[in-house]
Structure 1
Amino acid sequence: MSMSSKSENKITVERKVSTDLGQAFQLQGLGSNLRSIRSKTGAGEVNYINAAKSVNDNQLLAEIGYKQELKRQFSTLQVFGIAFSIMGLLPSIASVMGGGLDGGPASLLWGWFVAGFFLLLVGISMAEHASAIPTAGGLYYWTYYYAPEGYKEIISFIIGCSNSLALTAGVCSINYGLAEEIAAAVTLTKDGNFDATRGKLYGIFAGAVVLMGLCTCIASGGIARLQTLSIVSNVFIIILLFIALPIGTKRNMGGFNNGDFIFGKFENFSDWNNGWQFCLAGFMPAVWTINSFDSCVHQSEEAKDAKKSVPIGIILSIIVCWILGWFIIICLLACINPDIASVLDSKYGFALAQIVYDSLGKKWAIAFMSLIAFCQFLMGASITTAVSRQVWAFSRDNGLPLSKYIKRVDSKYSVPFYAILAACVCSLVLGLLCLIDQAATNALFSLAVAGNNLAWSTPTVLRLTSGKDLFRPGPFYLGKFWSPIVAWVGVAFQVFIIIMVMFPAQQKGITKATMNYTCVIGPGIWILAGIYYKVYKKKYYHGPATNLSDEDYVDAVGVDVIDTIISKQEP
């Protein structure tokens, strides 16, 4: 088959039939039409990324602008598993429960429920993006795609930096929580006679980062199976909690707290007014736990049938963690010592450790903290995988220093080893903030929330405004009526969370130790990223950079698709 052009810039595609090789395509006379077809912004009113009409993952990825370099080993369950693993319900609740109890049981319980609902709306909008354009770069790619002309590169660069740093901060948050859980288990074995200094915690943290990096270096098939192990481990420990904790509470504490205590007792342990404290204490446990569901997006180029499996992974992980987490909190509040202040001041450093100790005794408490630490390790391995894929994708488009090295993929194992190394090194360096003081540690954790919510909300805003004519929905889409309503409500919630996460825990008497430095670090990073782009990086970063040759593109997309597109362009 040949396509004859009207000018020298047209494309001629000649189909040659071989009895041994099947059909092969040879391009002749490549010109501006093929470059227009491969444009990621869509020429004029035409958008050439149409997930709904793509027949396979490689074709859709070629339309997005990239060749397949990683192996597609992740099933829908395993895509769900990477987000579910990072959320790590019981380990995460163990890490954030103390802050949630600063507003009493009712604040923790109902704050989780309300925040979980809005996070589901955020996830639905992200799932629509992922269904339409499933690529490992995700957020910064979508930002570039929908941003107005003249601003695409700088906004995309800022979002790429924000998402990369936020995910790295997430690694630090999870691994620091792991260090605290291990320290709590040691403290339990020594009956409280263990001083978990910042140096010791960082030592555990650094060892965990290195070990997680090694685990992440296995091939995609192994990493996929690791998510299955994480699902099983997290479900097992949750079932164990549901069975053992109530039995122990009934036997050793005489009974459970009543419904008024669980669902209605509000207790303000701060000097903020009750309404604001409900938000600070109630929303943040859910926001910190039901987080990093964009990890599914960063696995898009390793997922089978990504335009369907990635949206399912995002939404299902949020729903499961939202509802199941709510029941876990009910169980914990039913079994907790009603003297909340004594639980918050536990000598073991963890509210959950104190709850299990009171109900089941020392041995059970040690066992639970050990199992929680194991699940936390799997969380860290999963988020290290997600960070490495984001770093790799951003480097593929020349967005990071040393990009020409970081974007390399091992040809034998199809693993981005240099990206994994870069992710681990950045985590170790950023984690040094934990050595300063608790204020620096809290700012680091909050950076993960603020940076991610900025990266998640920006492409949604742009899709609804400047990029509304470019958007072509994939298989998952709520429709023209519900989609923008859900998206705008989700964006409003994200703006609120970005502001809220920058407030200190106390209103009065703010000192160097109690100051929330997120309000400085977060906007500071975004401003510095913009300055860095303007001063230097604009010479190298020009938005998503295709790594497909014209021949690769036609081979992946198919002659019939190109023929159809060109026929639509012709007058």
Structure 2
Amino acid sequence: MAGGQSVHADDWVVVGRDLFGIPDHGWVVLLDDQDLGGENDQWSGSRKSGLGAAGLLGRWIYQLVGLVAIASTDLAMAQFLASLISMTTGYNANTYVIFAIYVGIIILHGVVNSLAVRLNGIFNMISVWWHVLGTALIVIVILATTPEKQSASFVFTEWANNTGWSSGFYVFILGLLQSQYTLSGYDSAAHMSEETKNAQQGGPWSIIHAILTASAVGWVFLIGITFCIQDFQSQIVEPAVGVSLSQIFLDSAGETWAILLILIILGAQFFCGSALTLSSSRMVYAFARDGALPLSKHLHKLNKDKSPVAAVWFNIAFCFILGLPYIWSETAFSAIVSVNTIASSISYLIPILCRIILARDTFEPGPFNLGKFSIPVGIIATIWISITSIMFLCPTESPVTAANMNYAAVPFVIVIGLCVSYYALWGRHWFKPGGTRACDLDDDPELEQKSDSVSRNGSANEEIGYLKNLKT
């Protein structure tokens, strides 16, 4: 555990503040400028910039983020469910059983996200209240039932370094990983922008509200739980039921309350995984319309309820593959978490760099913008993302062995290599970020003729708006 409970409490505040004040502001301005698809490749390679390679790279990296986020969330849910089984029956599930539970969860998420869009909206509204009220109930119950609570000095100042590294600064930076991982995914509003009213304002404000809410609610939850840690070794380092939080619930509140609180956590994780699947499927759908994925002609199809079912099950299939390494190594879970955090940061960095370097004088801001602060905020965001991304690729334990090595760089490098090769060999011939969709035109000759007319007589933005209305 990098730095112990005090480092995680402090890191949560640091990450929450920096996400709200730095990368987010450099990023929502780009979303405000693009209300079609809301994809990172749109922000990197649209508005007649000609940055197709940057758009494709940013999009592939963020697609990796979407897939890894689903996998890590659902794998964590499988572990929590296994801890509940252990608590109630005494059966300790091995990695094969946990993986089987994981497969069942991702299939359920595929089924839920194959439903009509309006049903997903209702599902997500329930999710919001489940998270807020569930968090409040957990904190109240755990504080009320824990016989002896920790002191404020234990929560906010006590240092517990179990990494083997002697550098306090290095350990502190490593401690940022879990906080930044938990507070990622706030950009999901961007991927739903085509289904959002007044997306140029609604999208950016949704991101800001998401960061504010998650930072506040998450910090209250973290602090409440930390006050209730009774034995660091038996609850955090070596929990008998397999999951630290479940062990804290059991020791503090007893089995009955622990079961209820774990069910609340499981519900929150299921809602979260479903929302991530929804967001990632929209990314696959939008990217496929650009012709930038294998089988794009099939992946951008909608069913009778206007849901991208093919894109949904594309995500589920890949999540199955991503979960396979867990069978052989639980260290793979840590690598999955690291990949999610690093890849999301890099996918944000690419459009921000394009904005502050390549499009400094040509960028056209929308109604939501930072004015003269846009470039300075972008520079600070670049520095923050660069430092944290490099550190999250470093080993987390010393001495470094094959078992505890941080392998996060491996899938990251593979994705970049595949993306660059794909663009160089094929993608540059048909990939069209932020403009007329290659797949739409192939499927609809009438649309292609009308699109050509609009392109000759109007701007790229007018063309996008026209095509959206035409398809609607």
Moved more, 180-189 or 115-124: 115-124
Structure-2 residue corresponding to 1:204: 101
RMSD over aligned Cα atoms: 2.4
Determine if the alignment matches structure 1 residue 108 to structure 2 residue 108. Answer: no
Structure-2 residue corresponding to 1:20: none
- Give the deviation of 1:469 after TM superposition: 2.6
AA of the residue aligned to 2:34: I
Structure-1 residue corresponding to 2:314: 422
SS in 2 for 1:361: helix
Structure-2 residue corresponding to 1:287: 180
Determine if the alignment matches structure 1 residue 526 to structure 2 residue 427. Answer: no
Moved more, 418-427 or 441-450: 441-450
Determine if the alignment matches structure 1 residue 277 to structure 2 residue 174. Answer: no
> Which whole-Å deviations, capped at 9, do the CAs of 1:457-510 have from their partners, x for residues lacking one?
110111011112332222221211x222222212211112211221222131x2
Structure-2 residue corresponding to 1:172: 71
CA contact (8 A) 1:146 1:470 kept: no
> Which whole-Å deviations, capped at 9, do the CAs of 1:363-399 have from their partners, x for residues lacking one?
2112111221111111111000001000001100011
Aligned equivalents of 1:335, 1:553: Cα separation in 2: 65
Structure-1 residue corresponding to 2:339: 447
Aligned equivalents of 1:385, 1:173: Cα separation in 2: 15
AA of the residue aligned to 2:313: L
- Give the deviation of 1:521 after TM superposition: 2.2
AA of the residue aligned to 1:328: F
CA contact (8 A) 2:235 2:247 kept: no
> Which whole-Å deviations, capped at 9, do the CAs of 1:56-81 have from their partners, x for residues lacking one?
xxxxxxxxxxxxxxxxxxxxxxxxxx
CA contact (8 A) 2:31 2:43 kept: no
Structure-2 residue corresponding to 1:227: 124
Aligned equivalents of 1:454, 1:124: Cα separation in 2: 16
Q: Larger radius of gyration, structure 1 or 2?
A: 1
CA contact (8 A) 2:229 2:235 kept: no
Moved more, 299-308 or 424-433: 424-433
Q: 2:379 aligns with which of 488, 495, 503?
A: 488
Alignment of 1:158-557 (within 5 A): 158-190=57-89, 193-249=90-146, 253=147, 255-272=148-165, 273-281=167-175, 283-340=176-233, 342-410=235-303, 412-480=304-372, 482-508=373-399, 510-547=400-437, 549=448, 551=450
Aligned equivalents of 1:136, 1:365: Cα separation in 2: 42
- Give the deviation of 1:552 after TM superposition: 6.7
CA contact (8 A) 2:301 2:310 kept: yes
SS in 1 for 2:163: coil
SS in 1 for 2:371: coil
- Give the deviation of 1:544 after TM superposition: 4.1
Aligned equivalents of 2:45, 2:458: Cα separation in 1: 27
The structure-2 alpha-carbon separation of the partners of 1:501 and 1:311, relative to structure 1 and needing over 3 Å to count, comes to: same
The structure-2 alpha-carbon separation of the partners of 1:248 and 1:544, relative to structure 1 and needing over 3 Å to count, comes to: same
Aligned equivalents of 1:141, 1:168: Cα separation in 2: 19
SS in 2 for 1:465: helix
AA of the residue aligned to 1:234: H
- Give the deviation of 1:162 after TM superposition: 0.9
- TM (normalized to structure 2)? 0.90
CA contact (8 A) 1:146 1:466 kept: no
Moved more, 495-504 or 433-442: 433-442
Q: How many residues align?
A: 450
Structure-2 residue corresponding to 1:130: 31
Equivalent pairs: percent with the same residue?
25
Structure-2 residue corresponding to 1:44: none
Aligned equivalents of 2:318, 2:230: Cα separation in 1: 40
Moved more, 331-340 or 546-555: 546-555
SS in 1 for 2:160: coil
> Which whole-Å deviations, capped at 9, do the CAs of 1:161-185 have from their partners, x for residues lacking one?
1111121011100110110010011
The structure-2 alpha-carbon separation of the partners of 1:146 and 1:347, relative to structure 1 and needing over 3 Å to count, comes to: farther
- Give the deviation of 1:139 after TM superposition: 0.3
CA contact (8 A) 2:67 2:280 kept: yes
AA of the residue aligned to 1:356: F
SS in 1 for 2:397: coil
AA of the residue aligned to 1:346: P
SS in 2 for 1:186: helix
- Give the deviation of 1:530 after TM superposition: 0.6
Aligned equivalents of 2:68, 2:200: Cα separation in 1: 28
The structure-2 alpha-carbon separation of the partners of 1:475 and 1:340, relative to structure 1 and needing over 3 Å to count, comes to: farther
The structure-2 alpha-carbon separation of the partners of 1:356 and 1:554, relative to structure 1 and needing over 3 Å to count, comes to: farther
Structure-2 residue corresponding to 1:52: none
CA contact (8 A) 1:145 1:467 kept: no
Aligned equivalents of 1:244, 1:280: Cα separation in 2: 31
Aligned equivalents of 1:110, 1:423: Cα separation in 2: 35
> Which whole-Å deviations, capped at 9, do the CAs of 1:206-256 have from their partners, x for residues lacking one?
11111111111112211111111001111121110122111101xxx2x32
The structure-2 alpha-carbon separation of the partners of 1:467 and 1:550, relative to structure 1 and needing over 3 Å to count, comes to: farther
- TM (normalized to structure 1)? 0.75
Aligned equivalents of 2:452, 2:225: Cα separation in 1: 55
Unaligned runs of at least 5 residues, structure 1 = 1-98, 563-571
CA contact (8 A) 2:132 2:217 kept: no
The structure-2 alpha-carbon separation of the partners of 1:440 and 1:285, relative to structure 1 and needing over 3 Å to count, comes to: closer
CA contact (8 A) 2:36 2:434 kept: no
Aligned equivalents of 1:214, 1:380: Cα separation in 2: 12
Moved more, 214-223 or 376-385: 214-223
- Give the deviation of 1:324 after TM superposition: 2.0
Determine if the alignment matches structure 1 residue 140 to structure 2 residue 41. Answer: yes
SS in 1 for 2:108: helix
AA of the residue aligned to 1:430: L
CA contact (8 A) 2:72 2:337 kept: yes
